[in-house]
C-alpha cells in the first residue's frame, strides 16, 4: 500500500515538473525569439539598405521560430504589433503591411529568408 502511495505521489510530482519544465522552455524560447526579432531590427537599421525591409522581416521571424513554439509565438506577437502600429501611424498603406506580413509568415514557417534578400546587401547580414 505504501509503495502504491509513493508511486502515485512520485508520478504526480514528475508530471507537474514536466509541465513546469515545458512552460519554462516556452518562456525561454520566447525571450530568445524576442531577441532574434530585435537583432534583425537592429541590423535593418544599421544596414539602411533600400529594399531590404522584407528580408529582415523574414530573417527575424525565421531565427525566432527556429527556437521552437515560444520563439514562433514571440515572432508572431511582435510582428503583428509592429504591423498594426505601422499601418495606423506611418501611413505606408495596406499593401506594404500585407507584403511585410507575407515575409513574416514565410520566415516563421521555415522558409529561406534569402528569398527576400536584395542584390547588393552586404554579406554581413
Domain residues for the domain of 70 are 26-116
CATH code at 48? Answer: 1.10.132.110
Which segment of 89-98, 104-113, 115-124 scores lowest on mean pLDDT? Answer: 89-98
11 part of a folded domain:
no
CB 37 within 8 A of CB 74: yes
Query: Could you tell me the pTM of the whole model?
Result: 0.81
5 part of a folded domain:
no
C-alpha cell at 93: 498603406
**71 burial class (0-12, 13-18, 19+ CB within 10 angstroms)?**
buried
- Mean pLDDT over each residue of the chain, to the nearest integer: 87
What whole-number distance in Å separates Cα of residue 66 and Cα of residue 86? 26
32 part of a folded domain:
yes
63 part of a folded domain:
yes
Instruction: Give the 3-state DSSP-derived string for 52-96, with helices as H, strands as E and coil as C.
Output: CHHHHHHHHHHHHHCCCHHHHHHHHHHHHHHHHHHHHHCCCCHHH
State how many domains the chain has: 1
Amino acid at each position: 500500500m505504501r509503495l502504491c502511495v509513493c508511486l502515485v505521489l512520485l508520478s504526480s510530482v514528475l508530471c507537474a515538473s514536466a509541465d513546469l519544465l515545458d512552460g519554462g522552455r516556452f518562456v525561454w524560447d520566447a525571450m530568445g525569439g524576442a531577441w532574434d526579432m530585435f537583432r534583425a531590427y537592429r541590423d535593418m537599421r544599421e544596414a539602411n539598405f533600400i529594399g531590404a525591409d522584407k528580408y529582415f522581416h523574414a530573417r527575424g521571424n525565421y531565427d525566432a521560430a527556429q527556437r521552437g513554439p515560444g520563439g514562433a509565438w514571440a515572432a508572431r506577437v511582435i510582428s503583428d504589433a509592429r504591423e498594426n502600429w505601422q499601418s495606423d501611424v506611418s501611413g505606408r498603406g495596406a499593401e506594404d503591411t500585407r507584403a511585410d506580413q507575407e515575409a513574416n509568415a514565410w520566415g516563421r514557417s521555415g522558409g529561406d529568408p534569402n528569398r527576400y534578400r536584395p542584390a547588393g546587401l552586404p554579406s554581413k547580414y
